[in-house]
Amino acid sequence: MRRSALLVGIAVALCLVPTMVLNAAREAPVAESSVGKVQLLSASQLAFGPNGVLFVGDSVGGSIVAIDTGDTKAPASAASIDIQGVDQKVAALLGTSADQVLINDVTVNPASKNVYLSVSRGRGPDAATVIIRADNAGQLSVVPLENVAHTTVSLSDAPQSNTSGRQNPRTQTITDMQYVNGNLMVAGLSNEEWSSALRSIPYPFKQAERGTTLQIWHASHGQYETAAPVRTFVPYTIQGQPYILAAYTCTPLVKIPVSDLKPGAKVKGVTIADLGSGNQPLDMVPYAKDGHNYILVANSSHGTMKLKSDNLESYKAIESPTVVDVAGVPFDRIPAIKNVKHLASFDASHALVLTSAPANLQTVALP
Amino acid sequence: MRRFGFAIILTLLVGMIATAQAISIQLEGNTFKVAGWTPPASAPAAGWPSLLTVRAGSGDVPPMAGSYAVERGVLVFRPAYPLAAGVTYRATFQPPGGARIERTLEGPHVNATPVARVDHIYPSTDVLPGNELKAYIYFSTSMSRGEAAQHIHILDADGKPLNGVFLPGEELWDPKVQRLTVIFDPGRIKRGLTSNEKMGPPIADGKRYTLVIDREWKDARGVPMVDSFRKTFRGGPEDRQPPDPKQWRITAPKAGTSGALVVDFPEPMDYALLQRMIQVSDAHGRIDGVVATDHNEMQWRFTPRAAWKPGAYRLVVDTAIEDLAGNHIGQPFDVDVFENVTEHITTGTIDLPFNVR
């Protein structure tokens, strides 16, 4: 067990429970449903819901689409993925060169263990939005977006900001999505105002349903507070109670009780770790091994970490910037899993990683 | 005579054989066609892809996605996406019982003349607070995503590149991929954080810096820019004061004119938020007009579409509007909650009344 100097730094640090305010009055989700062509201006984040429903976050279009993939059949035998040079293979499938393909997110269908990639074909504003399926046999195919059953919810109805009629330059980049207990939780980052957004949208999407307003704060002596955006989060159970574990730009790890996430509620979150700055937490995968609980975390520049999460309830809130010895969540570094751009849960003993240079899509044993 | 006749028959035979073997793969626009071959009434058991495939690039890669059809007796393949510039396509046709035919074709050419430049970087001022939060880079045309990290540099006074200044992660573009928002790492800005203590804020008071944008940054066509861009600036003290509208000076226009309403701020404000977070209303509702900024974003100007009527107006200001350090009305970017016990952050607007005479 190794305590990182970073965690000591945590004590000195902390943006404590970032305050996140969802302005429901300005941005009320509105739902529409149809069978036909899926309208996507971009495909950034992906998440799976129940029964093969794939959620696609469209940051440019400011909406979320729920697509009925029909991909619900369990694999015949133990599944695994190993596609070397996946960027070149995806590019070839789409008739272009690897440098013209951006893989935006990777997720695993828990029912079938097929892997889904959200891809931009092209790097400019006219980039085509493509969803690619990679199956256990290593075959890549384009997921059809025409004649499919889907529902759409709009995240933002912000008015045109520019009277000259040009397209609104303000976008809400969707940073993460997770389906949790009947709600799709969506984290976002604006390209204009510095504010955090964490929306809870009931699924199935309803007509003109308003998302839950979440307001999270923590007021304690000597603590700093800032509206940092959520970068990635996972549902997590602590002592039998459901929580959200959210890693923020900034970069604390905060636990938020799900039971408190009611419309308009003020919720106390507790910071239990900090992963250091100059770094973005990319993805987190909770798992159990040999009777203990862990969370595997992929980072933009701090490598892969294995947090020891057996007793998350026991870690006191990291509160004071002057505490020298910290009670933060300890972790090990996992140098064998490196250059990770995306990390996703695969099964009880494996995670799925997409690496860069070279771009390989493969299952790895959870360490 | 017999030899002549024999020669004719031989020529005809050779001609027929040659014609029968003149299968070729043609590319018309974005569609591949197999000429000189009559397809059967329906696809073979293994499907049309077993006869005709097109691959992009080299190596062991999957065939291109697309659709097959028989049109006017000709087998065609339509790729799902337009052929891309700079890519080599290998088309292979395997007629049943015949010799395989391969053809290599190039994607379309693109005009490689550079046209893109950096039009402007906001904030315009060349003194940035030590806790500057973000900058907006406006390009003259659409650019390529995914290139920002390698093509934006901050150099110190000696020309040495500094690391860890900007927040890594997703690029924040507008929908046209023409405006990029870059965020200075807030972990280094917030007071008390480790890296703020160890490395200091990214911008130090009194020190000089140069922001460089490389010419090699490709535009949306894949072509580099006309030129690189440099902006020199100096670090100033950190700013942790929330903007205070009571300190704003409003200069009202004259009734009957379409002169600009002018608001002067004691400090520069965020350029993008100035475009939409201040509006003008009267008793009947919002006034339509055009917003402009001046004096390095220390001045906001509003020119109405119609002449001003005399009467009472109000400036409606969204409290989320920010100064350069991300402080917004009522709250600095980071705050000592104990001293400033706010039970919740309110979002909304405040009104600043003014009269037009």
Average of per-residue pLDDT across B166-185: 90
Higher pLDDT, A26 or A256: A256
pLDDT band at B316 (very low <50, low <70, confident <90, very high): very high
Contact B170 A220 (CB under 8 A): no
Contact B80, A142 (CB under 8 A): yes
HSE-up of residue A272 (Cα within 13 Å, Cβ side): 25
Strands (E), A203-262: 215-216, 224-225, 230-238, 241-248, 252-257
Q: List the B349-356 sheet strands across, edge first.
A: B285-286, B278-282, B311-318, B349-356
Burial of B112 (0-12, 13-18, 19+ CB in 10 A): exposed
pLDDT given for residue A250 in this prediction:
64
Question: Please, what is the Cα angle at B104 between B101 and B107, to 5 degrees?
Answer: 145
Name every chain A residue with its beta carbon within 8 A of the beta carbon of B170.
44, 173, 175, 189
Report pLDDT digits (tens) over A164-184: 445 788 888 898 999 988 889
Burial of A137 (0-12, 13-18, 19+ CB in 10 A): exposed
DSSP labels, A347-365: ETTEEEEEESSS--EEEEE
Contact A106, A345 (CB under 8 A): no
For the cut 50, the answer to whether the pLDDT of residue B59 exceeds it is yes
For the cut 70, the answer to whether the pLDDT of residue B1 exceeds it is no
Query: Which token pair is A322?
Result: 């002057």
Average of per-residue pLDDT across A34-42: 89
HSE-up of residue A302 (Cα within 13 Å, Cβ side): 24
A290: left (phi over 0), alpha (psi -120 to 50) or beta: left
Higher pLDDT, A264 or B344: A264
Give the 3-state secondary structure of residue A159: coil
Question: Please, what is the Cα angle at B204 between B203 and B207, to 5 degrees?
Answer: 105
- For residue B11, the tally of other CB atoms under 10 A from its CB is 10
Contact A58, A41 (CB under 8 A): yes
Report pLDDT digits (tens) over A323-333: 333 346 788 99
Least confident of A185-199, A216-230, A247-261, B110-124: A216-230
Contact B280, B286 (CB under 8 A): yes
CA distance A255 to A238: 9
pLDDT given for residue A264 in this prediction:
57
Which domains does chain B show, CATH number per domain?
A: 2-106 (2.60.40), 118-236 (2.60.40.3710), 245-356 (2.60.40.1220)
Tell me which chain B residue has its CA closest to the CA of residue A191.
Answer: B172
For the cut 70, the answer to whether the pLDDT of residue A21 exceeds it is no
Average of per-residue pLDDT across B199-227: 90
CA distance A37 to A236: 35
CB pairs under 8 A between A and B: 233
* pTM across the whole model: 0.87
Residue in B56, B326, B338 nearest the CB of A91 = B56
Query: Which token pair is B102?
Result: 């391969």
What φ, ψ does residue A40 adopt, rounded to 5°?
A: -130, 125
B80 in contact with A at a CB cutoff of 8 Å? Answer: yes
B65 in contact with A at a CB cutoff of 8 Å? Answer: yes
Query: Which token pair is A317?
Result: 């809130």
Least confident of A216-220, B21-25, B43-47, B333-337: A216-220
Contact B338 A223 (CB under 8 A): yes
Dihedral angle computed from the Cα positions of residues A253, A259, A264 and A266, in that order, rounded to the nearest 10 degrees: -50
Average pLDDT, chain A: 80
Contact B125, B102 (CB under 8 A): no
